[in-house]
Amino acid sequence: MRAGVAGGILGTVAVAGASASANAAEPVTQTLELPTLTADLAAQVAESAEATQQAAATYELQAERDAAAAAAAKQAKADLAEAKQKAEAKKKAEAEAERKAAAERAARSAERTELTSASASASTEASAPAGGSVATVIGFLKAQLGDAYVMGASGPNAWDCSSLVQAAFREAGVDLPRVSQDQSMMGTDVSLSSLAVGDILYWGGKGSAYHVGVYIGNGQYLDAANPSKGVVIQDLSGYPASGAVRVL
C-alpha cells in the first residue's frame, strides 16, 4: 500500500513539473505606453511649423522680386535700344534737313549773283525819253495780273518782283536795272506821303531793297508778290513800303 501511495505522489510531482516547464516555455507579452506630449514640446512643434511657413513665404517673395527685377531689366534694355534708334533717326533727319537747306541757300545765292551780274552792265541812271507814259506802265502791269511768281523769271507768264517792274517801264521807254537793290537807287526819292501813280515802291533799305512794286493810286500797289499770290494788287496799309522813287 505504501508503495502505491508513493507512486501516486511521484506521479503527481512529475505532472506538476511538466506543467511548470510548459508554462516556462510560453512567451511573455508586455505593453509599452508612448510618452504623452507636454505643453513645451507642442509649442516647439508649432514654432517649427510657423518658421517653416515663414521661410517658404520669404523664398516665394524673393523669387517674385527676382522675377520682377529681371523683367524690369529686360524692359529697360529694350527701352534703351528704342531710344537709341529714335535718336539716330532724329539725327539723320536733322542732317538731311540741314543739307537741303544748305542746297537751297546755295541755289538762291547763285541766282542772286547771276541777276546782279546781269544788271551790272545796265545803266545806273534811268533815262525817260519824251513821250514816256505812266499810263503805259500801269497798263502793262495790269495786263499781267494773275501771272505766276517765280524767282528769276522774266515773263511772259511768270515774273519775280524786279523783272515785272523792269518790263513795265521798258514798255514806256525807261531802262531799269534788273534787281530790286539797284532799282531802289534810280530816279528821285519820293516821300510816302506824296506818292503819285507810277512811283516805284521798295521794301528794305535804299540800295539794299529786297522787294519792289509800283504805286497805282488809292493807297494800292501792284507787284509780283510771292509764289502763293503771284501778280496781284494790294493795299499799302497791309504791307507799308520802306521808300519810293520816281522815274517818270
How confident is the model at residue 69, as a pLDDT?
A: 84
Q: What pLDDT shows up at residue 71?
A: 87
pLDDT digits (tens, 9 = 90+) for 42-63: 777 677 778 788 878 887 888 8
Q: What pLDDT, on the 0 to 100 scale, is given for residue 93?
A: 85
Q: List, as one string, the DSSP characters of the chain.
A: -HHHHHHHHHHHHHHHHHHHHHHHHSPPP-PPPPPPPPHHHHHHHHHHHHHHHHHHHHHHHHHHHHHHHHHHHHHHHHHHHHHHHHHHHHHHHHHHHHHHHHHHHHHHHHHHHHHHHHHHTS-SS----TT--HHHHHHHHHHTTTPEE-TT-BSSSEE-HHHHHHHHHHHTT----SSHHHHTTSSEEE-GGG--TTPEEEESSTTS-SEEEEEEETTEEEEE--TTT-EEEEETTTS--SEEEE--
Residues of the chain predicted below pLDDT 50: 1-25, 118-131
User: What pLDDT is stored for residue 41 in this prediction?
Assistant: 72
126-246: CATH topology: endopeptidase fold (from Nostoc punctiforme) (3.90.1720)
Domain ranges of the chain: 68-121, 126-246
